[in-house]
Chain A
């Protein structure tokens, strides 16, 4: 036993030397996750606001001004240009100077005040579906509430002094992510996925490199046992991965303002469980790969679905059922829920239990499977 521990410590020391003797790779390993976080964070999570809007208001009445005001106040639009005709709006849309245009015809004000329906034309640049959907939703909401307001005014005026209340008023309050910022949804997910990528690649490379160099053959003839070799190789990378977790979470909090609502200790402990399984997966990959290239491709078989199916970008509930259930096969799916739970909701151990136990089972199984399958023969 003591000999076994000594052998493992020897492997750890050697692996650590590899890591620090290659400062360029080390720098990449440390900086890469943060870079990914910042890049993806900006690329994916830009919440749609201040859509540039051109307005052609030919009506110039109280009603038309109310409509435009309400659009700008919503925060979704910003009037950047004014136009005189529909053609001018279309030109600007073509040129890409605006993403939306509002044409209010001359008769609009008259129709509204005389009790008719004032028709306006709204143009949306559909090339970016996210912006288009947001704009459409915003316009519908705004026009409805404007209509309500005008209707109420009309009724009050005719009903001589009585106050009118709307019969139903549903108020929605978002919990956990009050401003519905995509960033809050995304950053914790990125932390999970980045960890998955890091650990998978690092261990797979660390082992396959020895196979390529022929040093694995030399190790096989020593008395070192599989689990000593495995643990010895994995431990230094657990430390590296932990630095990664800490840095991504910190950048998420400081740069993107996604603060940790829950317990940092719990987050660390559960990360450790996830890492164990993920590193084990890396070892499994290295068992079936002869070259680092092969390992890379094998790893992407796990990484791609992690990005798509685990619910990083889109909520899993909206996925087709095949994708939805396939997500349950990925440990990162569970970890992602856990990280979101802790960071956004401040969820505790028992609340997250339904996500914790499958992940723990997976990690333990994969880890031991990888030790057993880590053949000390070639």
Chain B
């Protein structure tokens, strides 16, 4: 059963003293998927990745990566994963080629395949002509691509990327994700963390972490449809007054102005008519009411609200 899974985490927990950085996180990722782990600073994303890579020992719970237990078979796991750490840790005083060669030799890439493999990676990372350049002189985006090349030098079937696009311009970010897509197309499973919600759109599966817990796990479309009720975009005259009217309505969960349009959140599709009636009975001309999909950012914020409310309730009890 585990053969088809790239990652299985069961109640994975890490404590540093009294502080719990990762709290009973469980999930399963099928092979060949791109899994995006989202969450604010300090949510526990890096700590989760470090446990999965065998850098940190879990305090409790267990995890299997490519079918191998990370605590018991760390060496097996290491042969099968590539890891790009949060800081693009490269040797600044080594050249592009030396950095790549260093990891290729450590991973035991066969000597006869070494040259073609490095040439291939340099082409992929768009670093041709810069082989002899010292890494410290590379720009952010190039460092990032070199770090990726180093991480996949041994053609691992599983790739961990910890904030791979931090501090990189939008165009290079997009190019980077194209590379990740290509790898995924070759059957590589990917786990990537990010702060950028728009990048989550590149993922097949999304996990949201908040305060050391995994608070959502789903594909982006189900997240959009299932998690918060229904979102309507309302185009009407006098949007200012309309906002006030709708705010007082019990069936409305949330109203937000987006330019001249209003985003209104309600529990179900059926309440569209009620919205329209209420506005018209208040003398507001409605041009159009249309159901829209919430952005992942909307979802994340509402999930966090929900989580915080539960926390408060729990504290009161």
Contact = CB atoms under 8 A, between A and B. Distances in A.
A14 B91 contact: yes
Interface in B67-100: 75, 78-79, 81, 83, 85-87, 89-94, 98
A37 B87 CA distance: 42
Contacts of B57: 377
B54 interface: yes
Given A17-B93, A21-B93, A214-B89, 9 more contacts: A6-B105, A14-B94, A14-B102, A215-B90, A219-B106, A220-B53, A222-B107, A224-B106, A378-B50
Given A3-B108, A14-B102, A221 B90 contact: no
Nearest to A3: B108
Interface string A210-223: 00011101111111
Given A3-B108, A217-B85, A377-B55, A223 B94 contact: no
B81 A223 contact: no
Interface residues of B, number: 28
Given A214-B85, A378-B50, A222 B91 contact: no
B83 A218 contact: yes
B98 A17 contact: yes
Contacts of A87: none
A6 B101 CA distance: 12
Contact of A17 (B50, B90, B94, B103): B94
A182 interface: no
A10 B105 contact: yes
B307 to A, nearest CB: 29
Interface string B49-70: 0100111110000000000000
Contacts of B92: 213
A7 interface: yes
A181 interface: no
A223 B91 contact: no
Contact of B106 (A7, A17, A217, A377): A7
B89 A221 contact: no
Contacts of B55: 217, 220-221, 377-378
A293 B103 CA distance: 28
Interface in B133-160: 150
A140 interface: no
B102 A10 contact: yes
A222 B89 CA distance: 13
Q: Which of A13, A223, A377 has the most CB of B within 10 A?
A: A223
A81 interface: no
Contacts of A110: none
A22 interface: yes
A65 interface: no
Q: Which of A215, A218, A378 has the most CB of B within 10 A?
A: A218
Interface in A321-378: 377-378
Given A17-B98, A215-B91, A221 B107 contact: no
Contacts of A154: none
Chain B interface secondary structure, helix, strand, loop or mixed?
loop
Interface residues of A, number: 25
Contacts of B54: 220-221, 377
Interface string A1-40: 0010011011101100110011000000000000000000
A221 B103 CA distance: 11
Nearest to A7: B106
A14 B98 CA distance: 8
Contacts of B79: 223
Contact of A7 (B87, B90, B105): B105
Contact of A221 (B53, B87, B91, B94): B53
A7 B108 CA distance: 8
B106 A222 contact: yes
Interface in A165-222: 213-215, 217-222
Contacts of B89: 213-215, 217-218
Given A222-B103, A223-B106, A377-B56, A18 B93 contact: yes
Contacts of B83: 218, 221
Contacts of A213: 87, 89, 91-92
Contacts of B94: 14, 17-18, 21
Given A10-B102, A22-B93, A220-B55, A214 B87 contact: yes
15 contacts: A7-B106, A10-B106, A14-B94, A14-B98, A17-B94, A214-B87, A214-B89, A218-B85, A218-B150, A221-B53, A222-B103, A223-B75, A223-B107, A377-B54, A378-B50
A373 B291 CA distance: 61
Q: 10 nearest interchain CB pairs?
A: A214-B89, A10-B105, A21-B93, A221-B83, A215-B89, A214-B87, A222-B106, A218-B89, A221-B53, A3-B108
A223 B56 contact: no
B91 A378 contact: no
Nearest to A218: B89
Nearest to A228: B106
Interface in A292-344: none
Interface in A119-137: none
B78 A223 contact: yes
Contacts of A220: 53-55
B69 to A, nearest CB: 16
Contacts of B86: 214
Contacts of A17: 93-94, 98
Nearest to B101: A10
Contacts of A18: 91, 93-94
Contacts of A9: 105
A139 B275 CA distance: 115
B179 to A, nearest CB: 19
Contacts of A223: 75, 78-79, 106-108
A11 B265 CA distance: 58
